[in-house]
Amino acid sequence: METKKRPNYLFVFIALAVFTLIETLVSYIQQEAIKFPTLAIISVTKAILVLLYFMHLKLDSKIFSYLFIAGCVLSIPLILVIMVVMPQII
Amino acid sequence: MNEQHTNVAPLAQHENTKLAIWLFLGGEVVFFVSLILVFVFSRLTISNYEAQFRSLLSIPIIAANTFVLVTSSYFVVRGLEAINIKDDRKGLQTNLIIVMVLGLLFLGGQAFEWITLFNEGMTLKSSFGTPFFTVTGIHGTHVFIGILWLIYLLVSHKRRPFTRDNNRRVENFGLYWHFVDIVWIVLFTVIYLV
């Protein structure tokens, strides 16, 4: 991690706190068409903020990002298998 | 020849443990994705989910608990910054203690939620209870392991303080802790908000 380009952690933390508040309020909205995509976008944004700034993927060697992405990619066949198998089990 | 070899090395020797942590976290992604999917499918099969279970979940309390975990992540980076930038050993110790307290607070919040749900009649074997307690329980176990790791780091720091040049173990712990935070961010949305 390069200390010269260190991010403003307080700003990231405030953004995470505000997003948590917003998604909590959004959860009370009854319209699923608005609620679901909004919550999904906020959740993914929060996760990316933590990954890029708190876990320093933005500054660190790309190999760490590739390892994490590999985990996500490997999940895809798992998702497909579970989608096929689970309806038969339940 | 040897010099050339050194120059092309993609990662420094001290980055190896960090590489291992990221490899482990990549595997954890697959693990948690499978758990979350099982939860989602189980939930979809419950016909009257809203009336039966959703009403039992206290979103404000869990939102507060989410805030506690996010705050703990912030104090991890503050601790790392203290030791990396200022070589502030006391600052690192203080921030790590705050992280530990916040982690315990999170687990306390989760225990409170579980006790409330048990009192409401939810069991481990119910259609919602099984996936719910499995996913949140495994996440809680990860938080608990993080707290044990933190205690180990604090004891190590007391014996032989971490310095600006020797704090890799704190950074590795931070990666684990932030990952546990990310998992909760996703669980909070999938279990409680959607």
CATH code for position B104: 1.20.120.80
The answer to whether B134 and B40 are in contact (CB under 8 A) is no
Tens of pLDDT, residues B81-134: 999 999 999 999 999 999 999 999 999 999 999 999 999 888 888 888 889 999
**What is the rounded CA–CA span in Å between residue B194 and residue B187?**
10
Q: How far apart are the CA of A64 and the nearest CA of chain B, in angstroms?
A: 6
Ranked by mean pLDDT, the top range of A53-57, A86-90, B4-8, B52-56 is: A53-57
Establish, for the pair of chains A and B, how many residue pairs have beta carbons separated by less than 8 Å. Answer: 127
Residue B71 domain-assigned? yes
What is the rounded (10 degree) CA torsion for A26, B50, A40, A21? 30
ipTM for the complex shown: 0.88
Q: B162 vs A54, B87, B153, B168, CA distance in Å?
A: 20, 9, 9, 9
CA–centroid distance for B30 within its chain: 16
Quick check: is B9 in a domain? no
Rounded Cα gap, residues B62 and B189, in angstroms: 11
- Amino acid A49 reads L
Collect all residues of chain A within an 8 Å Cβ-Cβ radius of residue B65.
none
- C-alpha to C-alpha distances, B44 to A30, A86, B41, nearest whole angstrom: 18, 11, 5
Spatial distance between the Cα atoms of B59 and B73, rounded to a whole number of angstroms: 21
Structural domains counted in chain B: 1
Residue B154 within a domain: yes
**Coil vs helix vs strand at A57:** coil
User: Does a structural domain hold residue B139?
Assistant: yes
Chain centre to alpha carbon of residue B96: 14
Return the number of other C-beta atoms located less than 10 Å from residue A51's C-beta: 18
Which structural domain range is residue B36 located in?
Answer: 14-46+63-193
Residue B53 located in a structural domain: no
* pLDDT tens-digit series, residues B148-174: 999 999 999 999 999 998 899 999 999
Interface of A with B in 26-65 (CB under 8 A): 26-27, 35-36, 39-40, 42-43, 46-47, 50-51, 53-55, 61, 63-64
Looking at per-residue confidence, does B54 or A17 come out higher?
A17
Q: Is residue B86 part of a domain?
A: yes
Lowest-confidence region among A43-47, A52-56, B40-44, B133-137: B40-44
Question: CB distance B194–A1 less than 8 Å?
Answer: no
* B34 closest CA partner among A26, A85, A56, A50: A85
Question: Are B19 and A67 inside 8 Å of each other by CB?
Answer: yes
The model's confidence at residue B8, banded by pLDDT at 50, 70 and 90, is very low
pLDDT of residue B2: 45
Who's near B1: CB < 8 A, 6+ residues apart?
none
Question: pTM (2 decimals)?
Answer: 0.89
Residue B102 in any domain: the answer is yes
User: How many C-beta atoms surround the C-beta of residue B132 within 10 A?
Assistant: 22
What integer pLDDT is reported at residue A84 of this predicted model? 81
**Chain A nearest-CA residue for B193:** A27
